Amino acid sequence: MAKKKIKKPFFIFNPKSYLYGHDLEEMSKLAEILANKYPQVSVLLTAPFADISSVSQNVNSALISAQHIDGIKPGRGMGLILPESVKYAGASATFINHAEHPLTFDQIIQSIKRADELDLITIVCANSLEEAKAISALHPDIILCEPTELIGTGKISSEEYILNTNKVVKEISPQTLIMQGAGISTADDVFRVITLGADGTGCTSGITTSEDPRETFSEMVLACQRAIENKE
């Protein structure tokens, strides 16, 4: 099966370990509804490894992402995450080098290589302009430009950071999509970063800790749609 295509803009709801089991399954059903309601937007949902199989049964238009893979092949590797396993479970994408699961540069290279071999979409995290520049040379599908110090703070990246990282990544790897994700907590934040040139964005606590997570998720995907309509 060929690697699935990501449309611009895209939105990734990454519940981390806030949601699991039934609650996550319900969110996967909502992700599928939103993906069909806003067909110009790619909607992705990240799931813990143990939940990938169950939530993937609920989507067709929406995509499921693993939280991480290790750059290993079938064989030894007790406790590591085998890329073939997440692919078999139904994941179409994977995060690599998230701030909560950082990798060495050599490990990033190996994980991207294995993901490419299996046609998994690579979402590689970079916490600085310098790291974004280095990772761009590996030509991942998506680079998440997210200063670690802003994660979960509700403070989004400065306009200067967004514009500079967008420019640097595109100069080195024009086909790589840029995700700006730090501190996204409202639909207005989503609209702003897409309007500033990001190809996509995403959110965790802004959705999971809101009074109505389903409504907030829906509003953020709608904001992606509004942002592309505003550009036209």
| Active-site residue, selected from the candidate residues 32, 68, 131, 146 | 146
The answer to whether residue 32 is catalytic is: no
Q: What distance in Å separates the CA atoms of residue 76 and residue 11, rounded to the nearest whole number?
A: 35
Q: What per-residue string of b and e applies to 115-132 under the rule 16 or more CB within 10 Å gives b? A: bbebebbbbbbbbebebb
| Active-site residue, selected from the candidate residues 32, 68, 98, 131 | 98
- DSSP secondary structure of 142-201: EEEE--GGGTTSSPPPPHHHHHHHHHHHHHH-TTSEEEE-TT--SHHHHHHHHHTT-SEE
Q: What distance in Å separates the CA atoms of residue 31 and residue 102, rounded to the nearest whole number?
A: 27
The answer to whether residue 219 is catalytic is: no
Catalytic residues: 98, 146
